[in-house]
């Protein structure tokens, strides 16, 4: 073990190190603590006398030993500092976060610097570890990312139903179509429409009509898989893209949904509202030019269901 650093002649420098609002730890080549400032004492709960000459890795067992040793040896070999930012590694040592503004974070996010300390003979016998509390920066970044994600979600979601809006839904259909063209996987589309929806609005009012639309969307949510893409195509019409599903599977899905809606009772302002849906199913088993062909086929099948008396499923052949 190397001799401890003598700072007796540099009391002013020691005062700065002790009171600066960053963690400062000086280690010898065996990773034993030689300097331990007030920041480290307050955050770790370990007093300087208890940290002195203790192995840093034993004081903080959560530190990745292999990673830390590799970093230190690189600093000693090259004689240049090494830096780590919180995006790469959220923290080196796990300190609780006590900042009142950023108190929602469970731990302190940290940037760290490892500095080579040269002796008068030019040898590097000690390393200075500096720990910066960047929790406020990390918190602001997380909040900004969450806000952006929420805005993105809002931009692609229909506000009334929570399903994808037409723009995002159709873009997803284009992706599914391109995947089918490249890999040949089965893809089907179900288009559905609420029967006599104008009658619902005229009889019970538009707020009741919105409630009916919401309930249909809820049932669609319950019936689709994570790989399916459901959207509100417009008004009372919806579309569901079924991945890895041919028209036979699409018929099964559509029939289950039709029966679920047929058995649904919507209560609004003390009134019971019952209604049905008509559905059209198509897949990409026949030649097509683009995704619009699939929409046209499913829409045509839906039209046939309407003409045939509603509350039924028609598959485009």
| Residue 129 within any structural domain of the chain | yes
DSSP 37-79: -HHHHHHH---HHHHTT-BHHHH-TTS-HHHHHHHHHHHHHH-
Least confident span in 138-142, 152-156, 290-294: 152-156
Give the structural domain span for 228. Answer: 157-315
236 flagged as catalytic: yes
Is pLDDT of 100 > 80? no
pLDDT digits (tens, 9 = 90+) for 229-241: 999 999 999 999 9
Write the CATH number for 250: 3.30.70.270
pLDDT confidence band for 147 (50 / 70 / 90): confident
What confidence score (pLDDT) does residue 28 get? 94
2 is a domain residue = no
Residue 124 lies in a domain: yes
Query: Is the per-residue pLDDT at 7 higher than 60?
Result: no
64 in a domain, yes or no? Answer: yes
Say whether both 32 and 113 belong to one domain: yes
* Residues 89 and 204 occupy one common structural domain: no
Which of 72-76, 93-97, 128-132, 170-174 has the least mean pLDDT? 93-97
Given this model, what pLDDT does residue 141 score?
85
Q: What is the pLDDT of residues 246-260, one digit of tens each?
A: 999 999 999 999 999
> Does residue 286 sit in helix, strand or coil?
coil
Query: According to the model, what pLDDT value does residue 17 have?
Result: 77
Shared domain check, 277 and 233: yes
Residue 135, domain CATH: 3.30.450.20
Quick one: average pLDDT of 294-303?
A: 97
Verify that 60 and 91 share a domain, yes or no. yes
Number of domains making up the chain: 2
**275/260 Cα distance (integer angstroms):** 11
User: Does residue 175 have a pLDDT over 60?
Assistant: yes
pLDDT-derived band at 138 (thresholds 50, 70, 90) equals: confident
Residue 284: which of 192, 182, 193 has the closest Cα?
182
Of the residues 116, 141, 166, the one at which a domain ends = 141
Q: 233 CB contacts (<8 Å, ≥6 apart)?
A: 166, 169, 191, 239
What is the pTM (predicted TM-score) of this model?
0.60
What are the Cα distances from residue 289, in Å, to 190, 242, 296? 19, 19, 12
Average pLDDT, integer, range 149-174: 86
Residue 26's pLDDT is 94
Mean pLDDT of 187-196: 97
Q: Are residues 133 and 194 in the same domain?
A: no
162 and 132 part of one domain: no
Q: What six digits make up the tokens of 133?
A: 């509390």
Of these residues, 9, 105, 236, 265, which one is catalytic? 236
- DSSP tally for the chain: helices H, then strands E: 11, 12
């Amino acid at each position: 073990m190397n001799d401890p650093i003598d700072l007796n002649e540099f009391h002013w420098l020691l005062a700065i190190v002790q009171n600066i609002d960053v963690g400062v730890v000086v280690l010898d080549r065996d990773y034993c603590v030689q300097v331990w400032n007030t920041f480290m004492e307050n955050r770790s709960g370990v007093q300087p006398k208890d940290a002195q000459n203790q192995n840093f890795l034993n004081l903080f067992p959560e530190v990745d030993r292999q990673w830390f040793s590799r970093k230190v040896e690189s600093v000693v070999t090259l004689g240049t500092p090494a830096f780590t930012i919180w995006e790469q590694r959220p923290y080196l040592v796990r300190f609780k976060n006590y900042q009142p503004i950023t108190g929602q974070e469970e731990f302190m996010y940290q940037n760290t610097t490892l500095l080579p300390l040269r002796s008068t003979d030019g040898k590097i016998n000690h390393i200075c570890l500096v720990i910066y509390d960047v929790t406020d920066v990390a918190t602001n970044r997380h909040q900004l990312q969450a806000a952006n994600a929420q805005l993105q979600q809002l931009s692609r979601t229909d506000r009334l139903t929570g399903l994808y809006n037409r723009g995002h839904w159709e873009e997803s259909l284009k992706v599914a179509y391109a995947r089918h063209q490249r890999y040949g996987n089965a893809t089907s589309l179900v288009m559905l429409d609420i029967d006599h929806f104008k009658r619902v609005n005229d009889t019970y009012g538009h707020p009741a009509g919105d409630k009916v639309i919401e309930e249909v969307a809820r049932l669609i949510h319950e019936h689709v898989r994570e790989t399916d893409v459901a959207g509100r195509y417009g008004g009372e019409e919806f579309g569901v893209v079924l991945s890895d599903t041919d028209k036979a599977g699409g018929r099964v899905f559509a029939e289950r949904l039709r029966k679920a809606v047929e058995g649904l009772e919507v209560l609004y302002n003390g009134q019971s509202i019952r209604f049905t849906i008509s559905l059209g199913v198509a897949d990409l088993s026949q030649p097509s030019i683009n995704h619009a062909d699939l929409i046209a086929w499913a829409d045509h099948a839906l039209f046939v269901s309407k003409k045939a008396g509603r509350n039924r499923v028609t598959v485009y052949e």
